[in-house]
Structure formats: structure tokens, C-alpha cells
Structure 1
Amino acid sequence: MNIREASELDYPDLRRIYLESRRKNFHWENAEELTLEDFDIDTEEDYIILVEEDGKILGFAALYLADNFIHCLFVDPTCSGKGVGGLLLNASINKMNTPLSLKCVSENFKALKFYENKGWRKVVEEGKPGEKYWVLEYNN
């Protein structure tokens, strides 16, 4: 697997991964309201890295470098469990300075467990009812 900076030529695949992953895993969202264009809006000022293998993009992370913040980390649903998320997380940590932070929806139990298993710790739960999320921090 190869990790590299994304280019605009990668955006069609990144949009698809973002949409399909959220539709599959974000049970708290209305799947019909999610669109391909959400990727462009949600990653507008981010530095994007991706993992690919044999020319296929397996996942990506969108980083807000100014704040050492992981804005998005998504893996193609067909590649779940193959280590792509861990590669993206390590590459993100190597690209930025500690401490790093991210936010994870409180109802996203699978992602919270993933981050905690990788050494991230929950700092504070924020947001109004129905929209709560955890702020997590990594400081190694």
C-alpha cells in the first residue's frame, strides 16, 4: 500500500468513498441527504492524504494542518479491516505536530474504539443532544 498526497484527479474516487462510507456507517444521518458534493464542502481547506494499492484508492484523511487537526478519516467500505485506517492515522500523526486532535460523533462507537486502540484519549464530549461528539487527543 502506498500513501501520498491527493490531487484533484483523485477527487471523484474520494467523493465516492466519503459518500459510501457515511451512508453505510452513519446511522444517525439521513442517507438520502448525503451527496457527493459534501466532500468538497467538508474538506475545502484541508490537506488530503490517501492510501492506494494497485491504482485503487482505499481511503483518505483530510488534515487541517494549522491546528494539527484530523478533520476526516474515511476508508472505502470494501476495504474495512485491512489496516488502511491505521496507515492513514500514522501518516497523519507524522505530518503534524503533537498534540493532535479530532472530533468523533459520540454514536460512532466503532470509530471511537478504533481511535482509543491507537492511543487517542477522549478529552471532552461536546454538542447539543442528538449532535454530541467527542474531542480526542493524541500526544505521544
Structure 2
Amino acid sequence: MNIRAATQADYAELRNIYLESRRARFHWVKPEELSLQDFDADTVDEHIIVAENEDGQLLGFASLYLPDNFIHLLFIHPGFIGGGTGSRLLDASISLMQQPVRLKCVSDNHKAIGFYERQGWKKVIEEGAPGAKYWVMEYDTNS
């Protein structure tokens, strides 16, 4: 598996991964409310890294807001979940930023919260309005 910075040539596939991942996992969102254009709107001014297999197929991506040491998005193609891609992207993301690194995870996304906790992330505070709650999570090996 190779982790590298995304290029414009990757964007068509990244849009598909973002859309299909959310359709498969985000049971709290109506599928018709999601579109391919969401990727572009949701990654403005962010550094995107991708994971690809030996054949150059994109497996997933992370979108990072480097000035705030913040992982904004981490998405794996639904067909490749459970193969270590998420862990590799998290490690690569952390290596590009100063600790503590933070992210937000929708409170209803129990699988993702469990994944982050197994990777050493801690819940800091739950925020948001009813029906739109999320956990702020933090990774810090220095604390």
C-alpha cells in the first residue's frame, strides 16, 4: 500500500469514494441529499492524502486542515474496509501535523468511534445540536 498526496487526476475517483462511503455508512443521512460535488465543497483549502494498492487503485483518502492539526475527513472505499487502509491513513495524517491532532466524529457513527479509540484516540467533548451531535476526539502521545 502506498500513501501519497492526492493530485487533480485522483479527484474523480475520490468523489466516488466519498459519495459511496457515505451512502453505505451514514444511515442518518438521506442518500438523495448526497452528491459527487460534496467532495469539492468539503475539502476546500485542505491537504488530501490517498492510499492506493500496488495496482494504483485508490482505496481511501484523508483530508487534512494542516493549520489546525485537524483531520477533517477520513474515508475508505466500502469494498476495502477492514484491510488496514484507515490505520495507515491515520498514521500518515498524524505524521504531517503537530500533536495534539483532532478530529470530529458523528456520535451515531459507533463503528468509526470504536475504530478511532482502538487507534489510541480519546473522546474530548460531545458537541452539536440534538440530532447532529459529534465527538471531538484527540490523539496525543505527549500527554
SS at match of 1:50: strand
5 Å-filtered alignment, 1:1-140, equals 1-53=1-53, 54-140=55-141
What is the Cα-based RMSD across aligned positions, in Å? 0.4
**Structure 1 residue 55: deviation in Å?**
1.1
SS at match of 1:58: strand
**Structure 1 residue 5: deviation in Å?**
0.1
- Unaligned 5+ residue runs, structure 2? none
Corresponding pairs, count: 140
| Sequence identity percentage | 60
- CA displacement, residues 23-56 of structure 1 (integer Å, 9 cap, x when unaligned): 0000000111100000000001110000001110
- Partners of 1:106 and 1:31 lie apart in 2 by 19
- Partners of 1:55 and 1:68 lie apart in 2 by 28
TM-score (norm 1): 0.99
- CA displacement, residues 93-121 of structure 1 (integer Å, 9 cap, x when unaligned): 10101000000000000000000000000
SS at match of 2:75: strand
